[in-house]
Structure 1
Amino acid sequence: MNIREIVGKIRSSKEDGIKEVFLVACGGSLVDMYASQYFLQSEARELRALSYTSNEFVHAIPKSLGKSSVVIVCSHGGNTPETVEAAKVASEKGAATITLTHNKDADLIKYADYNILYEWGNDTSVEDNPMAIILNIAVEILNQTEVYEGYNKFMEGLKIVNDVVKRGQGLVAERAKKYAEKYKDEPITYVLGSGASYGHAYGFSICSLMEMQWMNASAVHSGEYFHGPFEVTDKETLYLLLMNEGRTRELDERALKFLNKYGAKVEVVDCKELGISVIDSSVVEFFNPIVFYSILCVYRGELAKLRNHDLDTRRYMGKVEY
C-alpha cells in the first residue's frame, strides 16, 4: 500500500476528518520530522501540526489527541522504549498511527495501523529514507484534507532530489576534508540554520557531533542569532552555517554578513551552490534539509576519520542504564 492509499484509508475512516498531525520520535528520528512540521505549519490553513519527543508525549499527553488525530511515529531500530510507548498511547487514544522503522521485527509495529519499512544505507535513494517519507506523508495528508497547490511540484522535486544530493556530495568532498583537518579539535561548534533546515542544524549538533564524535556543539536559529547568541561571536569560535534556498534564505544571509565581519572560523554549506534550485521555487525550501543531511554526512565522515573516532562508538548509549 503506498502513501496516498494509506492516507486515503485513514481519511475515509475518520467521521470528523483529520484535524491534527502529531510527529513523535526521539533523537535523529525526531530530527527527520522537523521538515514536515515546518511544512504543515507553513502551508496548512486549518490542519494542526505538533511535534513531540516521545517521552514527553507519553508523560504530558496532549488533550486534543484522539480520533481526529494522525500520529506519525518513527524509530530506526523500532525498539526505543519511549517511542514504542508513545505509539501505544496514541493507539489507545483512538488516533490513527503510522509507524516507520528499518526493523521488520520492531516492537513499534505492534501499535501501527500502518507501518512503513524503509530502506537504509549508502546505496539507497534519499526519497526512500525517513525524512523524505515523512514529508511525503505530510504533503499527502494536507492535499487530501485541504488541497495543496504545490502538490505536483513537490512530487516532481521528490523524483530529482537524489540527483541533487549525489552531485552535492561530490562538490563538497574536498571541502569536507579540509574542514576536518582544520577544525577536528575545536572546543565547540555552533550550527546555524533556518526554515525547514533548522531541524537539521539541531540534528547535526546533537547526533553527528555530540553523539557520534563527542564534540561540544549547539544549534542556533539564524533568525535568533541576533537576539542573544551573536554576543559570543569572535575570531576563535567556529560557526557552521546552513544556507537555505527559499523564503528564509534572507535570514541566513544576514547571519553570514555579520559572521564575515566579526568572525573568522566560518564554514558555509549552501544548498543553492549545491544545485537545489532545479527544484521548483514554490517548494524548494522543504527539500533543503533532505540535501543537508546527506551533505553533512560527508563532513562527519571526514571528522570521524581524522579524529580516529568511529561514528558508531558510544560511551553511554546502549552500554549503561539510563
Structure 2
Amino acid sequence: MTDGTYVGPSPVKPIPDDIRPSQEHAITLWSDIRSYVAALPAIDRIFLVGAGGSYSGLQAAHYQLDRHSLIPTTSVNSDEFYYRASPAVGPGALVITLSAAGNTPETVRAGSWAQERGAAVVAVTLNSEGPLAEAIKTAFIARNGDGNQILLQLLVLAVLQREGRDVSAQLRALASLPAATEAALRTFEPTAAAIAEDMKDVPVTYLIASGPLQGMGSTFTSCFLQEMQWMHAATINADEFFQGPFEVFDQGTKSILFLGEDETRPMSERVERFLEQYGGTIHRVDSRDLDLPGIAATERSFVAPLVYYALTFRLAAHYAAVRGYTLEGRRYMWQFAY
C-alpha cells in the first residue's frame, strides 16, 4: 500500500457540484427512453448485465422490476452472461447493459453477443464515444453515475408503463430527486465523518443491507473499500446474515447497517435486533433519517437507492480523508494486462 496513493490524512473534499446537474440531465431523457421501450415489438424477458460496480448498480432497478413487473428479470455478471449463453437471449429479450466509462470489455462483448442473437440491447453509460456505446445500437448517455442510476430507473418505468401501469408518482419523485439528494447529502455529512473515523482501521468491514440497497452496499465494500482503500470488506444480505455470517460477530465487531423504507426493511431490522444484543458498534444509515424534501412518503423507498448512491460516494470521501489514501490509486486495475 505504498505505491504513491498515500497522501496522508487531510480535510475531506467538498461535496461535488455535478450531482444535481447530472440528475436533472438524466431526467430529460425520459421521452426518448419511453419511446424506445414502447416501440419494441415484444418484451417477454429482461436481462440486466454489468460487471463489478456496474453489476451492483443494476440491483435497485432489478428490485423494482421484481416488485412491479410481470416480466421475468435476471441480473447477471457480464462474462457469466456471455459464457452461459442462455438460449433465452434472442428476439423478445431486452438486455440492459451498464458500464460507467463504457470501457469494460466483458460488458462490450456480452452486449454485442446479445445484439447478434436478435435481442433488443440498450447501453447505459457515460461515454458516447466509448466501446460500449459504439458497439450497441441504442445508448443512453448520462453525465455521471448518479445520472446512470436515474436512466436505469427510467428504463424500468418505461417497461412498467408499457405494461399499463401508472408511473406518474415515480416520475414526480424523480423530478424532486436532485434537490432532495442535495439535502440528504448535507444532513449525512456528520454521520459519514463519524463512520469513517471509527471504522478506518477495522480488520474487516461488514455492511449489511437488503432489497434495493443491497447493490449500493456492495458498491461501497467492493469498489470503494476493497478496490480503492485496499481494506478487507464484505456486504452481507440481511437474510443471509443468519445463514452463517452472524457466527463471526461478537462484542468486538463493528458493522454498518443500511436500513431502507422498502418492503424488505424487516430483514434489516431483524439483523439490528441481533447486533444490539450480540454485536459491537453498529453504524446505522437509515433512510428514515434522511431529509428528502419534495418526495412523497409513498415514494421514499423508490428514490432511496438513488440517494444512497450519492451517500456512498460521500462516505468513501470521508474514508479517504481520514485514512490518507486517495480514491484514484490502484495496485493492479488498469496497471497491466490481466
C-alpha distance 196-233 of structure 1, shift in aligned 2 (>3 A): same
Which residue of 2 is the match for residue 180 of structure 1?
Answer: 196
Q: Distance in 2 between matches of 1:61 and 1:277?
A: 45
SS at match of 1:77: coil
Which residue of 1 is the match for residue 115 of structure 2?
Answer: 91
Q: Aligned partner of 2:222: which letter?
A: I
Which residue of 1 is the match for residue 236 of structure 2?
Answer: 220
C-alpha distance 152-7 of structure 1, shift in aligned 2 (>3 A): closer
- CA offsets per residue over residues 170-213 of structure 1, 9 Å max, x none? 11212222222222111101111111111111111111111111
Structure with the greater relative contact order (CA < 8 A, sep ≥ 6): 1 or 2? 2
1:8 aligns with 2:30: no
Which of these residues, 36, 50, 55, is aligned with residue 25 of structure 1? 50
Which residue of 2 is the match for residue 134 of structure 1?
Answer: 152
Paired residues of 1:10 and 1:96 also in contact (CA < 8 A)? no
Q: Distance in 2 between matches of 1:70 and 1:83?
A: 15
Give the superposition deviation at 1:240. Answer: 0.5
- CA offsets per residue over residues 89-143 of structure 1, 9 Å max, x none? 011011111112212211112332211121128xxxx4xx111211110111121
Q: Aligned partner of 2:63: which letter?
A: Y
Q: Distance in 1 between matches of 2:215 and 2:298?
A: 20
Which residue of 1 is the match for residue 4 of structure 2?
Answer: none
- CA offsets per residue over residues 36-63 of structure 1, 9 Å max, x none? 1111111112x12111111111111121
Q: Distance in 2 between matches of 1:240 and 1:6?
A: 36
Which residue of 2 is the match for residue 110 of structure 1?
Answer: 134
Task: Count how many residue pairs are aligned between Structure 1 and Structure 2.
Answer: 311
Paired residues of 2:90 and 2:118 also in contact (CA < 8 A)? yes
Paired residues of 1:22 and 1:52 also in contact (CA < 8 A)? yes
Q: Aligned partner of 1:138: which letter?
A: V
- CA offsets per residue over residues 191-245 of structure 1, 9 Å max, x none? 1111111111111111111111111111111122222221111122121000101
Q: Distance in 1 between matches of 2:171 and 2:34?
A: 16
Paired residues of 1:37 and 1:51 also in contact (CA < 8 A)? yes
Which residue of 1 is the match for residue 88 of structure 2?
Answer: 64
C-alpha distance 287-28 of structure 1, shift in aligned 2 (>3 A): same
Q: Distance in 1 between matches of 2:263 and 2:56?
A: 21
Overall identity of the aligned pairs, in %:
30
Paired residues of 1:276 and 1:288 also in contact (CA < 8 A)? no
Paired residues of 2:33 and 2:154 also in contact (CA < 8 A)? no
Which residue of 2 is the match for residue 49 of structure 1?
Answer: 73
Paired residues of 2:114 and 2:121 also in contact (CA < 8 A)? yes
SS at match of 1:190: strand
TM-score, normalised by the number of residues in structure 2: 0.87
Paired residues of 1:213 and 1:311 also in contact (CA < 8 A)? yes
Paired residues of 1:29 and 1:76 also in contact (CA < 8 A)? yes
Which residue of 1 is the match for residue 270 of structure 2?
Answer: 254
- CA offsets per residue over residues 8-33 of structure 1, 9 Å max, x none? 3454341xx21112111111111221
Paired residues of 1:6 and 1:114 also in contact (CA < 8 A)? no
C-alpha distance 2-30 of structure 1, shift in aligned 2 (>3 A): same
SS at match of 1:321: coil
Q: Aligned partner of 2:60: which letter?
A: A
Which residue of 1 is the match for residue 206 of structure 2?
Answer: 190
Q: Aligned partner of 1:181: which letter?
A: E
1:136-215 equivalences under 5 Å are: 136-144=154-162, 146-149=163-166, 151-215=167-231
1:76 aligns with 2:77: no
The runs of 5 or more residues in structure 2 that have no matched partner are 1-27
